[in-house]
A and B are shown apart, each in its own frame.
Chain A
């Protein structure tokens, strides 16, 4: 469908370009080429470190002292297998997946409940309640991880999945984004629901959620990337290696390099594995992700 609509427009543009080329060398075309060159150059610069990492992860030793050594090696399967199995990276990745999934689902559910109450209920002190939730933006993990460590340790949660998920479940950002989105749903639809006598749970499930699909996907990606990339909190609260997450697992792997046990190619293989899940999500869901960010800024 889309292709059919765009076809004539593309054709038109091509024709216009041809006529222009016949007349005189078009300055705009030259500029366009320059732009593309600049863009390709800058994008390559940003991607270069990861390209190097990807190449090194396929080599035997990972000793690359010059640009000429940057040819892919033949140790892909061996390297990734060694990292995943012998160095427990499969375990770390699984822990990270569990942590991120629980955080995404839990945060989403809690935030949908809270935002629904804030937007669709006639409540006293509603602004104060919303402020109470928003104020937690001032308390990111780095300013409270010391007392949080003591609290969670006192609760006996050290080395547990509870420790790296439950403290993350309240989200001012997600409540805020959902509230903004709910406020943009036409009130006529809401009033129809009221006239039909729809209860709050049914209202959430059959009216709100279907109308919020894009935004829910967007905030889920934001939450997943946030959870997956956590480093400081797992580092302090998890000290049993088998319970560790991929981020800290990477740092452990690097420690082994310094100790001379592991080659850099294995560290780069671990890095590629750790990068893959959030990168795939970003590429697959970039549109809803960008949409959610636009709302966040307001």
Chain B
């Protein structure tokens, strides 16, 4: 018994835990279980529920459309994660290195954390609107003809940039904490050895920051898979012709546009598996690298 466990009355403890457990059971565990069960039924609008076993999952596995959307989502996540982490790492390093005005620069770097995705999406549409956008003219003189309402590849790029922009602040928050933890002596040694700034970042700081960077890879992947729904819904609606139809938007459409609840539930279960695997990887990596200080 640790010295902190000063109370023993189990009824009070139960009362203290009850609200959290109740809400978790009713609104988190129960819906999850219900989705798992429902995924085994075919339930289209107007038809009676019929037990179909793993037919929904088999349908997803063999559907070329779903597989290509899965690939698209993985690609989208890879670009978002790599992009946001590269930008945030450089920005964090600049803030870390600067002498005066550090706290002002830090706020200017982390503010997108507060940026609502819906706002980010709308502002971006306006910025690069093919006919009205502020940047469309300048980009055209550079030889980039913006046509992302019709051009799938351009739409993918625009959505990706907007999603990266919104996530910079969150990454800087964690990176600056980790970078500030690096012992000053190490920085001094590197300086005396004549190691340049960029090499110091890449070969001294980044290895020490590994645990934080892994943690961020997982968080950013979850963000790319799920947190970007508003961007897709507002900016492209999954189009043009499926070019930005990532899994979370596909799931939404399956349920609320096609009312195919059985298949939608199966898709929920697939996404749950994605989160599960990511969390498991994070857990294992945190374990493995926890001896690296921080």
A residues touching B (Cβ–Cβ < 8 Å)? Answer: 32, 35-36, 38-39, 42-43, 46-47, 49-50, 52-53, 56, 62-67, 69-70, 110-111, 113-114, 116-123, 129, 132-133, 136-140, 142-144, 146-151, 166-167, 169-171, 175, 182-183, 187, 190-191, 193-194, 200, 203, 225, 228-229, 231-232, 235-236, 246-248, 250-251, 254, 264, 267-268, 271, 274-275, 278-279, 281-283, 286, 289-290, 293-294, 297
Contacts and interface: CB of A to CB of B under 8 A. Distances in A.
Given A139-B28, A139-B272, A122 B91 contact: no
Contact of A53 (B9, B126, B137, B255): B126
Nearest to A235: B233
Contacts of B32: 139, 143-144, 147
Given A281-B114, A297-B215, A151 B127 contact: no
B233 A251 contact: yes
A41 B262 CA distance: 51
What's the dominant secondary structure at chain A's contact region?
helix
A278 B114 contact: yes
17 contacts: A46-B111, A53-B126, A67-B138, A110-B19, A110-B23, A120-B5, A132-B21, A136-B24, A140-B275, A142-B271, A143-B32, A143-B35, A146-B261, A150-B261, A250-B116, A282-B110, A286-B107
A117 B17 contact: yes
A66 B10 contact: no
B38 interface: yes
Interface in B99-125: 99, 101, 105-120, 122-125
B134 A35 contact: no
B40 interface: no
B268 interface: yes
Interface string B4-47: 11111110111011011101101111111011001000000000
A193 B248 contact: no
B132 interface: yes
Report the 5 A-B pairs with minimum CB-CB distance, sorted nearest first: A278-B114, A147-B31, A170-B23, A142-B226, A167-B27
B114 A225 contact: yes
B142 interface: no
Contacts of A63: 132
B111 A123 contact: no
B230 to A, nearest CB: 4
A190 B6 contact: yes
Interface of B: 1-10, 12-14, 16-17, 19-21, 23-24, 26-32, 34-35, 38, 90-91, 94-95, 97-99, 101, 105-120, 122-127, 132, 134, 136-138, 165, 168, 173-174, 176-177, 212, 215, 222, 225-226, 229-230, 233-234, 248, 251-252, 255-256, 261, 264-265, 268, 271-272, 275-276, 279
Contacts of B16: 113-114, 116-117, 121, 200
A275 B114 contact: yes
Contact of A191 (B3, B168, B177): B3
A232 B10 contact: no
A286 B7 contact: no
B4 to A, nearest CB: 5
Nearest to A190: B4
A120 B6 contact: yes
A42 B94 contact: yes
A281 B1 CA distance: 40
A116 B124 CA distance: 44
Contacts of B29: 136, 139
